[in-house]
Structure 1
């Protein structure tokens, strides 16, 4: 059975949240967003380890205050992130490789720390798909009409929404596969906006499975309002 390791990345500054508190540390009904995310993976029976990647400046707070206040049962490794998300994920993957004796059968689930509503069912779906293909992400087909504009004021063209999908996390990969793709990105100077784009750049196929509407990334104050609604809905 492969070792399955969740790499949770929490490096956001919360600028769009218009708050002095970083979005991952904002409290939702008494529990910080990041802890809610970690608790989903902690309670999942098919996650063996967790790696939490945060800015170096947040390491002490996470270790001494955030994590100390909650009783997680899954082994958790705290890792300093890098300048970019890509750097941070690579740091997490490098740590995973360092703690494993055999990398060939390991599977990693890279997840945004501010997506606390991911379901156990979606995690299972992604793990199952990655077992067959080696790389899988959840995604939702775009329902709105999407316009392309170079200057932000005038429409240049309308994109075919039947071919457009919004990527979510967890993005699940064989460890050797994603490490090789990151090495290729570093060698070619490529910067991706998510892990799947790094595999795409390396010519590695990535399977998509249906994402979840409420697997939202908390980015704006409006997202927090929706999060509050989702918590109330979950409680009823």
Structure 2
């Protein structure tokens, strides 16, 4: 989804985004954090930032959460690649939960809808982002997810047993929430069961699902980067 009209789009609720990019890239085996690796000649994180800067989304503020020791690297990359897309950089915390909480604190508005997105998901179709924003505005909380392609089994003391994959979903980002709801959820203590923002919110509010996209990769291993390069070359998401 693209927009030829660059005039500001008016939405009934202000839209914001928090891009969480605190990974070290240990599983990538690279010489730099995975969000700074080059994808089609540009940093992965730039591709992600550009998605949320699309005029079709109408995002009023994009907050980029980075470890403090990566600020200088990002500034150098911004200069090297002439990155002028507006964004606010804030320091992350020791965990993803703490990083999202810091990002929330940097938002300039007490109301609206905020998308929390992995900084290393650079190929998210704008249509998926729009669907998540719209569903969150209507229902309070919405996340992108896809149906598993493979058979899935659960481990037990006796071995393992098959699960009905038609009743399962693989969770992606963006995960979108009414700002007040997400702030209330992040006032609660952090728990080890928090694996994403939906797990932080779900005790307070039901989570709506919207259709994700199999091209919406989270770049974690070298194979993911190769696949992302192939997708960009052959069927770039719109």
**TM-score between the two structures when normalised by the length of structure 2:** 0.88
Q: Is the 8 A contact 1:7 1:111 kept in 2?
A: yes
Q: Contact 2:132–2:143 at 8 Å: present in 1 too?
A: yes
Deviations 1:58-107 (A, max 9, x none): 11221x2122333434x3110000001111011001111xx22xx13x21
Q: Provide the rounded CA distance (Å) in 1 between the counterparts of 2:84 and 2:208.
A: 31
Hey, what's the Cα distance between the residues in 2 that align with 1:190 and 1:94? 22
Aligned pair 1:212/2:219, yes or no? no
Whether the 8 Å contact between 2:13 and 2:137 is mirrored in structure 1 is no
The answer on 1:21 being equivalent to 2:32 is yes
Show structure 1 runs of 4+ deviating over 6 A.
none
Picking from 146, 155, 159, the partner of 1:155 is 159
Secondary structure at the counterpart of residue 183 of structure 1: coil
Deviations 1:127-176 (A, max 9, x none): 1111110110010012311122268xx83322222221111111100110
Q: Tell me, what secondary structure is at the counterpart of 2:186?
A: helix
Normalising to structure 1: TM-score of the pair?
0.88
In 1: Cα distance, 2:156 partner to 2:217 partner? 27
8 Å contact kept, 1:42–1:72:
no
* CA–CA separation in structure 2 for the residues paired with 1:83 and 1:17: 20
Q: Is the 8 A contact 2:172 2:212 kept in 1?
A: yes
Which residue of structure 1 aligns with residue 197 of structure 2? 195
Contact 2:142–2:210 under 8 Å retained in 1: yes
Unpaired runs of at least 5, structure 2: 1-11
In structure 1, the gaps of 5 or more residues are none
* CA drift at 1:191: 4.5
What is the SS of the residue equivalent to 1:18? coil
CA distance in 2, matches of 1:48, 1:58: 24
Q: How many residues align?
A: 223
Partner Cα separation in structure 1 for residue 54 and residue 78 of structure 2: 15
Question: Counterparts of 1:182 and 1:164 in 2: how far apart (Å)?
Answer: 26
Does the Cα contact within 8 Å between 1:108 and 1:172 map onto a contact in 2? yes
Distance verdict in 2 for CA 1:215–1:179, change over 3 Å: same
Corresponding position of 1:141 = 147
The yes-or-no answer on 1:123 pairing with 2:129 is yes
In the TM superposition, what whole-angstrom CA distance separates every residue of 1:3-62 from its partner, at most 9, and x where no partner exists?
211100001111111112211000012101011110111123321111000111111221
Structure 2 residue aligned with 1:81: 92
Q: In the aligned structure 1, how far is the partner of 2:78 from the partner of 2:176?
A: 25
Q: 1:107 aligns with which of 105, 108, 113?
A: 113
